[in-house]
Amino acid sequence: MPELPEVETIKENLKSKILNKKIIKVTINWNNIIQYPDISNFKKQLTNQTINDITRKGKWLIFDLNDYVLLSHLRMEGKYFYKEKDTPLLKHEHIIFHLSNNYHLRYHDIRKFGKMHLLKKKDLDNYYIFSKLGLDPWDNNLNINYLKNKFKSNLPIKTLLLNQSIITGIGNIYADEILFYSGINPFKKGKDLTDEDLENIINNTKLILTDAIKNGGTTIKSYVFDENKPGSFQNKLAVHGRKNKNCFKCNEKILKVKIGTRGTYFCPKCQKELI
DNA sequence: GTTGACACCTGGACGC
DNA sequence: TGCGTCCAGGTGTCAA
């Protein structure tokens, strides 16, 4: 399930392969992935566009083309494969970008949750998706006052950390890790967080995501950043996915609970304090 | 305005 | 072995 470090790794990997390649045709095998515009215009507008750059905002990949920007969200299982055009099509390769060098860029998504939008460049900044996104973890405006204002809520901090309109890019795995290293109980209400809690969240978010990027992201189920290359940060996870295993710090057993609809892992001893 | 439930999807784990 | 059920999770939408 790609979060910020996984999307960043995928972005860098794609940049090494498809920059300056021209799209000569697009094949769509699952229409629901395309959110805007309609299928016919999506194909038409992409034809003869060159991929000039690839950037990222939160968990969104942004393909910078001549006249348009292609936004791609991988959601749970989305992946991109770069393959020779004659390579047999896999069952879940739903969108095929035919490139001018006889290669394909193929979007693969087992659960078909991923989404794509194609916009004119001038419309990007005001597009409803981007106007709702919060701050990048390394944004200088991410400070205690910003979080104090945004976390003014009765919702548990675990839920607030997953809210992309506050900090972009944090998903379920890294939210658990950030709260563990910050010593914060995931049930603690946003409005009850102290300045020290907020500072710990800011610092640990940067540290953990940076380390995860260095390790190529986290592979728990199916994430790969190239056809067969998994990340390695899963070997460094302290709590996520470690139900009933011993805490690295205190040896207490890691618990798994549900907060909202999300599985949440935490150490009941290191993350005990609620207020 | 806030919060929770649900839909979108498939594959894997599990119980019978 | 085979079948049915549940669970995983990011985000948008809708209802309370």
- Residues of A from 91 to 130 whose C-beta is within 7 A of strand B: which are they? 91-92, 110-113
Residue A274 CA and nucleotide C2 C1' are separated, in Å, by 48
Question: Where is A256: in which H helix or E strand?
Answer: strand A255-259
Higher pLDDT pick, A227 / A251 = A251
Nucleotides in B strand less than 7 A from protein CB: 2-11
Mean pLDDT along residues A6-21? 92
Paired residues of A10 in beta bridges = none
Within A112-194, residue ranges assigned H as helices are 128-132, 144-150, 157-161, 172-182
Mean pLDDT along residues A47-54? 96
- Residues of A from 182 to 241 whose C-beta is within 7 A of strand C: which are they? none
Contact A216, A234 (CB under 8 A): no
Rounded Cα gap, residues A93 and A29, in angstroms = 8
Residue A40 CA and nucleotide B12 C1' are separated, in Å, by 36
Higher pLDDT pick, A123 / A231 = A123
What CA dihedral angle connects A140, A145, A149 and A154, to 10 degrees?
Answer: 110
Closest CA to A23 of A72, A86, A65: A65
Point out the nucleotide closest to A260 (alpha carbon to C1′): B4
Nucleotides in C strand less than 7 A from protein CB: 7-12
Residue A131 CA and nucleotide B16 C1' are separated, in Å, by 51
Would the pLDDT of A64 be above 90?
yes
Q: Is the CB of A189 under 7 A from strand B?
A: no
| pLDDT mean across residues, chain A | 88
Residue A260 CA and nucleotide C15 C1' are separated, in Å, by 17
Rounded Cα gap, residues A120 and A44, in angstroms = 13
Within chain A, residue ranges assigned H as helices are 4-18, 39-46, 128-132, 144-150, 157-161, 172-182, 195-214
Would the pLDDT of A223 be above 70?
no
User: Which pLDDT belongs to residue A236?
Assistant: 76
Q: How confident is the model at residue A2 (pLDDT cuts 50, 70, 90)?
A: confident
Point out the nucleotide closest to A110 (alpha carbon to C1′): B10
Opening angle at CA A212, ends A209 and A216, nearest 5: 135
Which residues of A participate in catalysis according to the annotation?
A: 2-3, 59, 262
Residue A111 CA and nucleotide B16 C1' are separated, in Å, by 28
Rounded Cα gap, residues A268 and A160, in angstroms = 20
A182 phi and psi angles, rounded to 5 deg: -90, -5
Mean pLDDT along residues A147-176? 90
Task: Give me the percent of chain A exceeding a pLDDT of 70.
Answer: 92
Contact A58, A76 (CB under 8 A): no
Point out the nucleotide closest to A2 (alpha carbon to C1′): C10
pLDDT digits (tens, 9 = 90+) for A99-145: 999 999 999 988 888 999 999 998 888 888 888 889 999 999 999 99
Residue A221 CA and nucleotide B13 C1' are separated, in Å, by 13
- Residues of A from 226 to 265 whose C-beta is within 7 A of strand B: which are they? 260-261
Q: Is the CB of A171 under 7 A from strand C?
A: yes
User: Which pLDDT belongs to residue A230?
Assistant: 61
Q: Is the CB of A262 under 7 A from strand C?
A: yes
pLDDT digits (tens, 9 = 90+) for A65-105: 999 999 999 988 888 999 999 999 888 899 999 999 999 99
Closest CA to A160 of A265, A23, A262: A262
Q: How confident is the model at residue A243 (pLDDT cuts 50, 70, 90)?
A: confident
